[in-house]
A = this chain, B = another copy of it.
Amino acid sequence: MVNYKVADESLSEKGKEALYVAERKMPVTAKVIRDRFTKEKPLVGVVIAGCLHITKETGNLARTLKSGGAEVYLCGSNPLSTQDDVAAALIKEDINVFAWHGNTDEEFYWCIRKCLEAKPNILIDDGGDMIVTLHNEFPELIEKGTIIGCQEETTTGVKRFRAMDKQGALKVPLFPVNDARCKNQFDNELGTGQGIISAIYGMHVLFAGKKVVIAGYGHCSSGMALRARGLGADVIITEVDPIKALQARFAGYQVMPIAKAVPNAEIILTATGCKHVLPPRPEVFDMLKDGVILGNLGHFDIEIPTKELYEYAIEIKPIRRHVEELILPNGNKIYLLAKGRLANLVLSEGHPSEVMDMSFGLQSLMSEYIVRNKGSWKAGIINIPPEIDDKVGFLKLESMGIKIDKLTEEQYNYIHGYLEGT
């Protein structure tokens, strides 16, 4: 019997197709590991609860865990990222789902609790809310040893748990899957970073010859810059960190303060984690070029001062899906993507399945690892075993048909000796 609360069960056919499209692009998670899990059943008797973005890719993670014998519960880690069709499809496959697009704060926690009430042995979290709720409201799951290990998928969540660990407040073995190389070396630049670009390019905006201003030169923003340039744009970077600013410059980009960059910008994209990247002042708004496109990739909708822009505009009208035209007092028209929210998610389909394949392959293998080695760890942050991290890499290479060399023992000893021996 499957437990669930979803928006609309009738969407299951559409969801099934979406799951299929993703599956085809996730050979590590949805083929190699799933096939082995199906045969070996390493997760039999285990309950796994995930608080994750309920997307077609996550759906495939859930399927793989289930194929390994686990009983799976899912709730959504963000009210806006839930794909209702996928949620509907999953329940047809006996995966327990409590998630719907646009749930309230209260409902959000209700969903988490429904998952925890299932007495899970492993938690997979995206942001940390489920694990914190576990500590606060379900301490018995910890005390009685029901929980054997937890995984956290995001930078933010890992920071949170490191802080808790320092204060002695973390009561479970926590595996920061976010920190694995097979995750963090690919997710940001290849995944997040290209989101807005592909959305805008798919809208058939010509990047060639456009002046594109990108605020920030971290992982996501440098990924955006690389793609925009690859499409023929003339890219300007703004940064507050001097070392990153130099890196951008040595990569061949122009670097300047935002106020100097804005007047000629034809596309402005923000990904800084910083408030009011575009300063919310009339004189700045007046500098915006007629026709400029504004998009944000940062977590919060305050990088572009959306609220202030709406107030300043004399007219606002939707012009395409998730694109609004704002007419400013000086007559200039500007085009705001996704109301200043994460345009990569709203206008596009989120991270490419090819990239999520690695993150979710890791979570699948880590779930198996936790089961096989349960009881080996005390509470606290436990590093991801490098051989599992590498394993995901090897599987991905193999799925791409790429072979690489193996070090001989002599070569290995040589490097090892060199590094250790000086």
Chain B CB within 8 A of A84 CB: no
Whether B414 pairs with A249 at a CB distance below 8 angstroms is: no
Q: Which of B208, B247, B394, B406 contacts A252 (CB 8 A)?
A: B208
Whether B202 pairs with A202 at a CB distance below 8 angstroms is: yes
Which B residue's beta carbon lies closest to that of A189? B250
Whether A411 pairs with B276 at a CB distance below 8 angstroms is: yes
Q: How far is the CA of A203 from the CA of B199 in the complex (A)?
A: 8
Contacts of A159 in B (CB 8 A): 419, 422
Q: How far is the CA of A208 from the CA of B353 in the complex (A)?
A: 12
Q: A349 → chain B, closest Cβ, in Å?
A: 5
Whether A415 pairs with B273 at a CB distance below 8 angstroms is: yes
The listed residue with most B CB atoms (<10 A of its CB), out of A21, A209, A230, is A209
Residue interface mask A112-140, B partner, CB < 8 A = 1:
00000000000000001000000000000
Contacts of A203 in B (CB 8 A): 202
Q: Which of B209, B390, B418 contacts A250 (CB 8 A)?
A: B209
Q: Which of B160, B333, B348, B406 contacts A24 (CB 8 A)?
A: B333
A229-B252, A233-B252, A404-B256 known; A245+B202 contact, CB < 8 A = no
Q: A152 → chain B, closest Cβ, in Å?
A: 12
Chain B CB within 8 A of A251 CB: yes
Q: Which of A52-106 contact B (CB under 8 A)?
A: none
Chain B CB within 8 A of A243 CB: yes
Whether A411 pairs with B275 at a CB distance below 8 angstroms is: yes
Whether A198 pairs with B202 at a CB distance below 8 angstroms is: yes
Whether A422 pairs with B209 at a CB distance below 8 angstroms is: no
Contacts of A232 in B (CB 8 A): 190, 226-227, 230, 250-252
Number of interface residues of A (CB under 8 A): 94
Which B residue's beta carbon lies closest to that of A195? B204
Q: Which of B252, B333, B419, B420 contacts A209 (CB 8 A)?
A: B252
Q: Which of A139-173 contact B (CB under 8 A)?
A: 156-157, 159-160, 163
Q: Which of B230, B243, B414 contacts A389 (CB 8 A)?
A: B243
The listed residue with most B CB atoms (<10 A of its CB), out of A238, A259, A411, is A411
Q: Show 13 residue pairs from A and B whose CB-CB distance is below 8 angstroms, ordered by the A residue.
A: A194-B208, A206-B352, A206-B354, A209-B250, A209-B354, A227-B230, A233-B252, A234-B249, A240-B404, A246-B393, A264-B401, A273-B415, A276-B411
Which A residues fall within an 8 A CB radius of B? 17, 20-21, 24-25, 128, 156-157, 159-160, 163, 181-182, 185-186, 190, 194, 197-199, 201-206, 208-209, 226-227, 229-234, 238-243, 245-247, 249-260, 264, 273-276, 291, 319-320, 333, 348-350, 352, 354-355, 389-390, 393-394, 396-397, 400-407, 410-411, 414-415, 418-420, 422
Known: A226-B232, A243-B393. 8 other contacts (CB 8 A): A128-B422, A182-B243, A186-B246, A209-B250, A230-B231, A232-B251, A241-B390, A249-B397
